[in-house]
Structure 1
Amino acid sequence: MQSYVRISLIFLTLAASMGLILRLMQSGFPLMNYKYLLHTHSHVALIGWVYNGAFIIISNLLQVENSKAFKRLFWITQLSIIGMLLSFPFLGYGAISIAFSTLYVFCSYYLVILIFKYTSNKSRSASARFLRWGGIYLIASSAGPFALGYFMANDMGDSNWYNISIYWFLHFLYNGFFLFVVFAHLTRENHPKGKSIFVLMNASLILLFGLSTLWTDPPAFIYLISGIAAMLQIMAFILLIRNKSVNLINSFTKWLFRLSIAAYGLKLIFQLVGCTHSVQQFINDTVPYSVIGFIHLVMLGFFTLLLLSYFFNNQLIGLTNISKLGSWLLIIGIVLSEVLLFGQAALIQLSIPWLTDFFPTLTAVSSLMPLGILLLTFSSFGNHTVSPSLKQ
């Protein structure tokens, strides 16, 4: 399992490095095709890091570390990620990159089959229900990329439907699959409110997609159902944090975990306030800052820090001076970049003079993240004690 973590961290390092290059290009350095690199950055971050991290959690929850089917699936998935990494920067959405993306989609389908197979004898537990429904939402998310292909083939790349397809993919991938895998982990130890949390989260998921369509100024009832869904998720969160469900081995791991949970709490608040027309207008006026800030809050502040706490807690990354330094550089980079992104959005909305050297400043701050991740990756190759049950 350590090899899986190392590979995931390498992909995270590459994704963060590409993010830094994107920042440099926004600062006036035309290094390559921005749109192509953006596609590469998002695919490697989502699949190479967060999806791989979810795969590791699933393997551990189902206790299938030695399953040949899971091993083969993992390595084939890595082939698809490498293919996307080597094709998207130069071809964008071309035949080769689409072929590797399709390979990933079919790998994800097979993962769902395995989840249902290995949870067949405990399907009534909250953790198994989260895994199963997370798998269903993973399949649902794939409708987004397939729809994108149709819209691109019919010259509808500038249509609302094209953008809605992207939001569909992201919503069901990270609010559905990723988040449900995390909740499967957090409710695995017979959480006293596990089933109630599952009912609330599952009831909210489809309704919450309405939040991703509010930028189109839909009818008022879409705002209402989005607000209801946001409230249901807040209720589930309250039930979750009122009962301790995760045993953490040291103070540093607890700190990472608490930071990730705090980021998730901010996500829930933003979701709720985002269900109002005035806040949606603010978002529409500040898309390059507020939307990217929100996505990074979820992907970096919540998922990434939670995955790191999970890896540290299971001794899949050794807790050394290097790994702690890397973690702190990453955390500082995340916090400062979020302050800059949301701060710039607020300045624009208040008609206050903007930070004129915003992108160079953001680039400097963002450089802390790939540096920190590189140290974490380097540390993962060091010698340290690993729990026998997690060795591979």
Structure 2
Amino acid sequence: MLNFFIAAVMGLLLRAVFVWELNWLDYKNMLHGHSHVALLGWLYIGFFLMIHGRFLSKEMASKPIYSWLFWLTQMAVTGMMVAFPLQGYAGFSIFFSSLHILLSYLFVFRVWKDHNKEDVQITLLLKTALSLLVLSTLGVWAVAVIMGSGGGGGILYQVAIQFYLHFQFNGWLLFALLTLVLKDFKPVIPWSGFRIVYWLILSSQILTFALVLFWAYKWNWAYYINAVGVVIQLVGLGAILFSKKIAAQKPSLSFSSVAKQFLMLALIVGLIRVAFQTLLVVPVLAEMAVFLRVFIIGFIHLNMLGLFSAYLMFSFFNTYASGSSEDVLKPAIWPFYLGFIGSEMLLFAQGFYIWQKWGTLTYFHEGMFLLSCFLPLGIFIYMYLFHRNSHNGVEMLSIEV
């Protein structure tokens, strides 16, 4: 959560650049720091903890290797947190980025061997998430090779970065989330139906990478492959809904009111995400989405904050906050909601204005800065209230003992 807070503050500074002159801040370097801390310090470590805590037996989870992995990973994140804003892609930042990747390989290897293999469906989703995590890092190594050969900033360089991001968002993080969903809600889906849905979802995520190739090289065939991937994704989503209707047993679930808020946000954003991808089968909308930077930023934040972060927050609240503590933590929800939803609406409104050639929204940057203040505020309130409530809980426990 502290990494999440720092990433949000970095994002706030990036908004401030367009409102005031901040000569001491290098925008591009800070952007690298913001994105690395958000993706690797918050989402990666968040799913690391969920996987470690929920898919390993107590005996396996207590192995010292996981504590070492956690703290070494956090050291790598801290190194990137400092190095990227100061120097961009250079010696120290590249070292810590490479260290993080190598540590993630070790994490994949250990979890692959140590996780509880009783549920074959969860095992399949978890192993797929881990495999796609490794696959995504090929884009990072390709970036290093391209930069070493003097091709930094070119189209191939951009494609390599997009390869990494695509298989993070549409690979590792998506399947890690689906694994948690299966664990949380325990739907009873026949293996034959589950296998069909699994291959539909996996193939659709691979095929939709073609949109990046369409953006980079204007290949018409890449546009059609992306369209096929989108259609397959819709079929997979329909199959999930149908399978749940005919085969799933409604589990007896009891979530805190705070957890439900984040669960609802993740569900709504997940549906919006699929709807956006579906709209991109229209050629004019596909070109708009891949060429207007404001839409790209909006879609990235939609995934990071509205889907993956919201589900992580749901998992944290559901795991650690229950009973009377949920009322204490409620004040953290609305700043998070306001910061996320408000900035997303403003981003997409700005993109629509530019697309329609109406110019730009008045006070757009000032509005983005103001709305972006609420996100770190919500995270800070959560950390403060959670820490205070946990401290009070320890005191009460000691008194009872």
Shared fold (TM-score, shorter chain, > 0.5)? yes
Aligned match for 1:19, one of 6, 11, 20: 11
**Percent of paired sites with the same residue:** 29
CA distance in 2, matches of 1:94, 1:351: 39
Tell me the CA shift for residue 246 of structure 1. Answer: 8.7
Name the counterpart of 1:91. Answer: 87
Give the number of the structure with larger relative contact order, counting CA–CA contacts within 8 Å between residues 6 or more apart. Answer: 1
Matched, 1:134 2:139: no
- Separation in structure 2 between the aligned mates of residue 296 and residue 241 of structure 1, nearest angstrom: 26
Q: Number of paired residues? A: 376
Q: Which moved more, 1:100-109 or 1:69-78?
A: 69-78
Q: Residue 51 in 1 paired to residue 57 in 2?
A: no
Alignment deviations for residues 139-189 of structure 1 (CA, whole Å, 9 cap, x no partner): 111111111112222222221111111111111112111111111111232
CA-CA distance at 1:198 after TM superposition: 1.9
- C-alpha change, 1:169 and 1:246, in structure 2 (3 Å) is farther
State the partner residue of 1:330: 336
- Give the SS at the match of 2:21: coil
Report how far residue 221 of structure 1 moved.
Answer: 2.3
Instruction: Kindly state the Cα deviation for residue 120 of structure 1 after the two structures are TM-superposed.
Output: 7.6
> In structure 2, which of residues 165, 175, 178 is the aligned counterpart of residue 180 of structure 1?
175
**Given that residues 131 and 184 in structure 1 are in contact (C-alpha distance below 8 angstroms), is that contact kept between their aligned partners in structure 2?**
yes
Greater CA drift, 231-240 or 174-183: 231-240
What does residue 315 of structure 2 align with? Answer: 310
1:300 matched to 2:305: yes
Cα gap change, 1:246 to 1:137, in 2 (>3 Å): farther
The one-letter code of the counterpart of 1:54 is: F
Q: Which residue of 1 aligns with 2:62?
A: 66
Q: Give the aligned partner of residue 227 of structure 2.
A: 227
Q: 1:285 to 1:205 in 2, by over 3 A?
A: closer
Distance 2:195 2:321 in 1: 29
| Shift, 1:377, TM fit | 1.5
- After superposition, the C-alpha distances for 1:88-139 in whole angstroms (9 at most, x for unaligned) are 11111111111111110011101111122024844x7121111111111111
- Give the C-alpha shift of residue 253 in structure 1: 1.7
Q: Is the 8 A contact 1:105 1:142 kept in 2?
A: yes
Is residue 244 of structure 2 the alignment partner of residue 249 of structure 1?
no
CA distance in 2, matches of 1:179, 1:319: 29
Do the aligned residues in 1 keep the contact of 2:325 with 2:389 (CA within 8 Å)? no
1:210 aligns with 2:210: yes
Unpaired segments ≥5 residues, structure 1: 1-8, 387-392
- Give the corresponding residue for 1:33: 26
Match of 2:100 in 1: 104
TM-score by length of 1: 0.90
Rounded Cα–Cα distance in structure 1 between residues aligned with 2:327 and 2:117: 43
Superposed CA deviations along residues 216-248 of structure 1, whole A, max 9, x for unmatched, are 253322122212222222333344456357934
Deviates most, 376-385 or 353-362? 376-385
Give the deviation of 1:286 after TM superposition: 2.2
Pairing of 1:257-276 with structure 2 (within 5 A): 257-276=263-282
- Structure 1 pair 316/101, CA: closer, same or farther in 2 (3 Å)? farther
- Residue 349 of structure 1 and its aligned partner are, at CA, apart by 1.3
The amino acid that maps onto 2:90 is G
The structure-2 alpha-carbon separation of the partners of 1:259 and 1:238, relative to structure 1 and needing over 3 Å to count, comes to farther
Question: What's the TM-score once normalised by structure 2's chain length?
Answer: 0.88
Determine the C-alpha separation between the residues in 1 that align with 2:277 and 2:198: 19
Q: Which runs of 5+ in 2 are unaligned?
A: 245-249, 395-401
State whether residues 204 and 232 of structure 1, in contact with CA within 8 Å, keep that contact through their aligned partners in structure 2: yes
Specify the code of the residue in structure 1 equivalent to 2:71: W
Of residues 283, 287, 296, the one that matches 2:289 is 283
Which protein has the larger Cα radius of gyration, Structure 1 or Structure 2? 2
Rounded to whole Å, the distance in 2 between the matches of 1:167 and 1:245 is 39
Which residue of 109, 114, 133 maps to 2:110? 114
| Contact kept? 1:141, 1:168, Cα under 8 Å | yes
Distance in 2 separating the partners of 1:69 and 1:90: 32
Show the counterpart of 1:153: 148
